Structure 1
């Protein structure tokens, strides 16, 4: 009796799978893709975070090596060290499993704590970056010669140029990003205007514009 019921249940399940085979295959494909993503995501995250840690580590190294080599502005090497340390922490903190936000279900206390620390460190780094800009640009260009008899205190050339060009490159990239976004906005605006002028509807193709343009040219000629 029991064997007969089990046989009937397996038959019904196999029939259900055969009847809804496309949906079942789609579900299996999605589950396999999610499994592959979950397996490859930690590797990608580790590689990306390792690349992001290169620049903060360089900040720490340059600031530690030339810690006492900028009497003109002693806060510059300290700025590099602190910025590098918090940059590394900001890159490593999201990699901790306990601070990750769960995909399913409510956030845990550790994930909320990690999010709060991430937010506070980001605000601190922004304020520290602004302070570092004041210290760096206020002494441009300093005296690079350590053995000079000038009254003006010196600042090591490697230390100052490194600390000078990092924020400068940040501002250059931000300016280029603004220009690119402005060009993209102008392009979208011009494209919308051309669609309005030519009467292009969402369902029409580009051949309609070509035909309309050729007819207009023929009429004018």
Structure 2
């Protein structure tokens, strides 16, 4: 009599857990985006060694907000069709974010390596010969972490997308075999 009830409870708990995780990830990403904008704006002129690092932080925080409207959204009638302009905007956003992530990697990683090198001598105080321009270390460390996290999320997104396409293809092949 109660055989199906425990399975339904577990399914509900699993669905609630997944929803909470998704909401948590979205809130964390929004928070990281805001932090990128704020830290990049505050330290805009504090990295003469590579002055594009704070700019990268600002743009990488703003871009997802700007292109976020191109996400797929179901209509009221359950139709998932998108306008071509929205799809093109989504592709442009994806390409821009990937290109900007590559640029950030080219600016942040070498600068981080230079500043953390043992023989790096910053031009501070009376030291003016044999030294290099410095970069605000907390900003550079934050940018290094953000580039790394962005790459991790990009790879995760690619894997998720490929798995989704694989599942869709296997369903469509299975449906074609059954109807034939």
Hey, what's the Cα distance between the residues in 2 that align with 1:68 and 1:89? 24
> Is residue 157 of structure 1 aligned with residue 137 of structure 2?
yes
Are 1:63 and 1:78, in contact at CA under 8 Å, matched by a contact in 2? yes
Hey, what's the Cα distance between the residues in 1 that align with 2:149 and 2:26? 21
Hey, what's the Cα distance between the residues in 2 that align with 1:169 and 1:113? 30
Q: TM-score, normalised by structure 1?
A: 0.47
Are 1:70 and 1:154, in contact at CA under 8 Å, matched by a contact in 2? yes
Contiguous gaps of at least 5 residues in structure 2:
1-18, 157-180
Hey, what's the Cα distance between the residues in 2 that align with 1:79 and 1:73? 11
Are 1:136 and 1:163, in contact at CA under 8 Å, matched by a contact in 2? yes
- Partner residue in 2 for 1:67: 44
1:173 to 1:119, Cα distance in 2 relative to 1, 3 A: closer
Q: TM-score, normalised by structure 2?
A: 0.57
Question: How much is the aligned-residue C-alpha RMSD, in angstroms?
Answer: 3.6
- Partner residue in 2 for 1:76: 53
Q: Which has the higher contact order (CA 8 A, sep 6+)?
A: 2
> Aligned-pair distance for 1:170?
5.1
Aligned equivalent of 1:87, options 58, 64, 76:
64
- Partner residue in 2 for 1:100: 73
Cα deviation code 1:105-153 (max 9, x no counterpart): 57354xx333321221111111110111111122213269573424300
Are 2:108 and 2:140, in contact at CA under 8 Å, matched by a contact in 1? yes
Cα deviation code 1:21-61 (max 9, x no counterpart): xxxxxxxxxxxxxxxxxxxx9xx988764443111111111
Hey, what's the Cα distance between the residues in 2 that align with 1:144 and 1:49? 40
- Partner residue in 2 for 1:134: 106
Give the greater-gyration-radius structure (CA).
1
- Partner residue in 1 for 2:30: 53
1:144 to 1:83, Cα distance in 2 relative to 1, 3 A: farther
The alignment partner of 1:60 has SS state of: helix
Hey, what's the Cα distance between the residues in 2 that align with 1:130 and 1:107? 31
How many residues are paired up?
Answer: 130
